[in-house]
A and B are shown apart, each in its own frame.
Chain A
Amino acid sequence: MMPCARASPAAEALAIIKVGRHLGRIRRLLADCARLDGACLVERATLATQRIAALARPR
């Protein structure tokens, strides 16, 4: 996970896939490197039940 955090400042956009049960840790990590505000969470991408929400918001 730390390489992602380091890559984050250099990349225009960053997709973190296969999140699953690591969601809480990822949210904390992004908060720690001040990336949480721009982050959005996509669930069930491309399906009819797709949900997009700000990652910072409590679910």
Chain B
Amino acid sequence: MRAIAVEREADRCAMIGENAAALGVPHLELVAGVAPAAPGELSPPDAVFIGGGLTTPGLVERCWQALNRGGRLVANAVTVEGEARLFALRAEIGELTRIAVSRAEPVGAYTWLAPAHARDAADSRDQAMTGTVYGLGVGPGDPELLTLKALRILRAAPVIAYPAPETGDSFARSDRGASFARRSAGDRHPHAARRRPASRRRRSMRARPTRSSPQVAAGRDVAVLCEGDPFFYGSFLYLYERLVDRCPVQVVPGVVVADGLRQRRRPAPGAPQRDSHGGAGAAPR
């Protein structure tokens, strides 16, 4: 952990040095320079505090871009114009928070809370990316061969994603996804249902992660329907590899097709009369 201060005024540099010594800031590096130019040469910071001069052209943008992933920008926004510079970043910012401090001061015989200048804290979008991606094993086909856990998550998830071939409908969604989504998440979040008009069902695995990513980035949970079990030769493996460093990913196991067949196995004409799984399965009916 280290802190770097950039200040162009010599007397303020001296003040910063004194304050750091008095308050005990370790490893403070003082750079005498002009802020928009100077931070570019520094290693990416986790947090940037802009004490003033928000309206300096390019200052906010430069500091914001310099931030580390998940970083935070805190700025003293004294004027409306300064605050407007922060609002201009709104599209990129994950969360914008205004913090105001008021101090109790005497007013005659009474006390009032005198507001200090507001500070605006802008959290970078990477940090705000708190939505969880669930790889839901939805079983081999029978909608009832779904775990209670998968059902709970499916009902709660505002966004449901599913693999689909380039042409034709998605098997993962066809029965389980569609029937549960209609009764659950789709009802509570109609926009999730509207995301799947017939004309847009033709989406490939390749397209899906990028379509779902903005939802996760917006802090929303995404349930990905996976036939059988997500990790039992499932294509969710590829999605998992791409996402695991970017957002929380949880995997909910599912019934794989061979297990699903145990109850249903009938000897095929000409097939040997034995359980296809060689043991504990139910007898052929």
Contacts and interface: CB of A to CB of B under 8 A. Distances in A.
A45 B145 CA distance: 11
Given A15-B257, A47-B175, A52 B139 contact: no
B175 to A, nearest CB: 7
B270 A56 contact: yes
Contacts of A17: 228, 233, 257-258
A46 B257 contact: yes
A46 B260 contact: yes
B276 A13 contact: yes
Contacts of A23: none
B140 A45 contact: yes
Interface string A39-55: 11110111100101111
B266 A52 contact: yes
B234 to A, nearest CB: 10
Contacts of A40: 268, 271
Given A17-B233, A17-B257, A18-B233, A38 B141 contact: no
Contact of B142 (A12, A15, A46): A46
A17 B256 CA distance: 10
Given A12-B278, A15-B257, A46 B140 contact: yes
B270 A37 contact: yes
Contact of A46 (B141, B277, B278): B141
A15 B259 CA distance: 11
A47 B175 CA distance: 9
B277 A45 contact: no
Given A46-B260, A55-B268, 16 more contacts: A13-B276, A13-B277, A15-B257, A17-B258, A38-B271, A40-B271, A45-B257, A46-B145, A46-B257, A46-B261, A47-B175, A52-B264, A52-B266, A53-B268, A53-B269, A54-B270
